[in-house]
Structure 1
Amino acid sequence: MTLREISRVLPADQAWGLWTSRQIVARIMDTCGPGLAGTTVTPVDTIDAHGGRVIGEWVHGAGVSEADTSDRGAIYFVHGSGYALCTPRTHRRLTAWLSRLTGIPVFSIDYRLAPRHRFPTAAEDVHRGWHWLTTQHGVAPEQVVVAGDSAGGHLSIDLLLQSDVTHPAALVLLSPLVDLTFALARTAEQHRRDPAIRARDAARLVELYCTGIDPTHPRLTLDVAGGRVLPPTLIQAGGAEMLSADAIALADDLRAAGGRCDLQVWPDQVHVFQALPRLSPEAAPAMREIAAFVTAALQRDHIEQVG
């Protein structure tokens, strides 16, 4: 009755419409998100070894030490919202909760947004941030879990399909966007209306990033089934959202490539419900599942290294 109807009428291709959408999403994330008490945030704005700029923030949830992370591991978080709406700031409540539950810090990459910055800018920023984290900052790839939501899921998968990227311990995806044509979402929409947004409105937003690019470009239409075997993956999606179809298809492709994937479709939940615990009571148990998966993945990798 609110977000779905607002997204229908706001013109994403006009500055005022995009600005309004950004404000609405930020307010929802703040109002319905978890608390920030005890959270410490450290901004990062640096130049990598190749002269590229890396922007983001370290988030230490309540009780998580700000001491050197090189021997404790980290989560590399790639936020979503159509390549155009969100930032590490909008997702700070979610990343702080994730840090507190896992006991490790989160580095949230601040990639450049459309329409000012188009494809492949976001993917390049995510790639640059990963290499900075695992080389210059000194956190070994096997001590990192990559996590992303929505379009951040697409960017995370794209990152790990690149041949120059050493795989992390695991991958966590929340309501991942995989099919940028929204064909899967439109099919799902015929059976159940997404309570938050229409497929055509979401597609308009994503087009701000990749307009004019052949949709079959290998970094837009990702060949997951025929690509590298990705690390153990946990996918969570809401049963009420249209992108549950993307989550199911992605899980099938990950397994077809030879990877391990745990798919959880939470009944009647909306897009990235984990970020909205004041709206969705299911957010807390879902986040506990994620924390347990992250902890087990990092412990398993540590045991394998010692062995």
Structure 2
Amino acid sequence: MSRQQRQALDALLRSVPRSETQPSPAEQRTGFAAAMTRPAPAGVAVRRTVLGGRPALELEPAGAADRGRLLYLHGGGYVIGSPDTHTGLVGELAARTGLRATSVDYRLAPEHPFPAAVDDGLAAYRDILATGTDPLELVVAGDSAGGGLSIATLLAAREAGLPQPAAVVVFSPWVDLTLSGASMRTKQDADPIFTEADVRAYADLYIGDGDPSHPLASPVFADLSGLPPLLVQVGANEVLLDDSVRLAARAGAADVEATLEIGSGLPHVYQTEHGRLDEADAALDRAARFLTSHLPTPVEAGHTQEH
């Protein structure tokens, strides 16, 4: 893996000018879309659809297996981002898994504060199951706030009596809106993207008058028992590092199969740098292997459907 690539990325991220005043959510959304949007890889068809009553993007790789579905929840602090901004990342994951992926345009704060995003995540999950997807052939993934939302969605599904999916992968998940992780301060200089104040601003917009320690807002405080096998990937150079470390530890303590990967010298959701950073492509390959390894083989799938 290339130290030069990591250093160049860090320098690039630090070169982004910081505004003297907090931009409005609309301005942040426009800027994020301009900076982050990348096309799906060749061979991945993209079409607009609806899932759980919300707009969504479906990304289907050529020769997608009949079995298996991927539900993806995008990042953006619950305030910015969309399936469009994450087309490249979700398309890469779809291509690597060979699975048809659906990325949901859940409602954003501050127009729609907590628990709107969780309600939309649960509605999407419920819709996938209602339309005939076997939970054993369903996997879930998300990044940043979407990583936290992925865990919250599965907790809400558990409470609703719905079956869990086969596996879940989260990239740099934001799972503590109280910002109590030590890395929020100890990694401030190492993080080229966020300060504690940046993260707190998103938390305030999402939670509003609510309780930031609510387990569906901050799943690091939830009982995680019964969740499916979990892979957490995070960069060492991010203020949200301890969110990932504590999430994996909490999952393991609840007897959930949990794998934690910490990438040296890497920033928040470094997987978005696929094609430009060796570590990003390698991480996506590992994430895809993790997800598909928990799906039944075609023979097992046929046996499951017969019974």
Residue 128 of structure 2 corresponds to residue 133 of structure 1? yes
Per-residue CA deviation, residues 179-213 of structure 1 (Å, 9 max, x unaligned), is 112221423335x4311111211210221111111
Residue 149 of structure 2 corresponds to residue 158 of structure 1? no
Distance 1:272 1:302, change over 3 A: farther
Equivalent-residue separation in structure 1 for 2:196 and 2:116 (angstroms): 24
**Two-structure CA RMSD over aligned residues (Å):** 2.4
Residue 39 of structure 2 corresponds to residue 42 of structure 1? no
Equivalent-residue separation in structure 2 for 1:150 and 1:275 (angstroms): 11
Equivalent-residue separation in structure 2 for 1:225 and 1:219 (angstroms): 8
Any residues of structure 2 matched to 1:244-283 within 5 Å, and which?
A: 244-283=241-280
Counterpart in 2 of 1:11? 22
Letter in 2 for 1:172: V
Name stretches of at least 5 consecutive residues in structure 1 with no aligned partner: none
Equivalent-residue separation in structure 2 for 1:170 and 1:301 (angstroms): 17
Q: Which secondary structure state, in structure 2, belongs to the residue aligned with residue 183 of structure 1?
A: coil
* TM-score relative to the length of structure 1: 0.86
Instruction: Tell whether the 8 Å contact from 1:60 to 1:104 is kept in structure 2 after alignment.
Output: yes
Deviation of 1:3 after TM superposition, in Å, equals 5.3
Which residue, 96, 110, 113 being the options, matches 2:91? Answer: 96
Equivalent-residue separation in structure 2 for 1:132 and 1:99 (angstroms): 20
Residue 291 of structure 2 corresponds to residue 294 of structure 1? yes
Distance 1:251 1:60, change over 3 A: same
Identity within the alignment, %: 33
Deviation of 1:27 after TM superposition, in Å, equals 2.6
Letter in 2 for 1:11: Q
Q: Which secondary structure state, in structure 2, belongs to the residue aligned with residue 298 of structure 1?
A: coil
Letter in 1 for 2:32: V
Name stretches of at least 5 consecutive residues in structure 2 with no aligned partner: 1-10
Equivalent-residue separation in structure 1 for 2:192 and 2:203 (angstroms): 19
Deviation of 1:218 after TM superposition, in Å, equals 3.2
Letter in 1 for 2:137: Q
Equivalent-residue separation in structure 2 for 1:171 and 1:64 (angstroms): 23
Counterpart in 2 of 1:143? 137
Equivalent-residue separation in structure 2 for 1:260 and 1:304 (angstroms): 22
Q: Which secondary structure state, in structure 1, belongs to the residue aligned with residue 295 of structure 2?
A: helix
Distance 1:210 1:305, change over 3 A: farther
Count of aligned positions: 289
Counterpart in 1 of 2:115? 120
Per-residue CA deviation, residues 247-301 of structure 1 (Å, 9 max, x unaligned), is 1111100000011111101111111111112442211111110111111111379
Instruction: Tell whether the 8 Å contact from 1:102 to 1:291 is kept in structure 2 after alignment.
Output: yes
Letter in 1 for 2:33: A
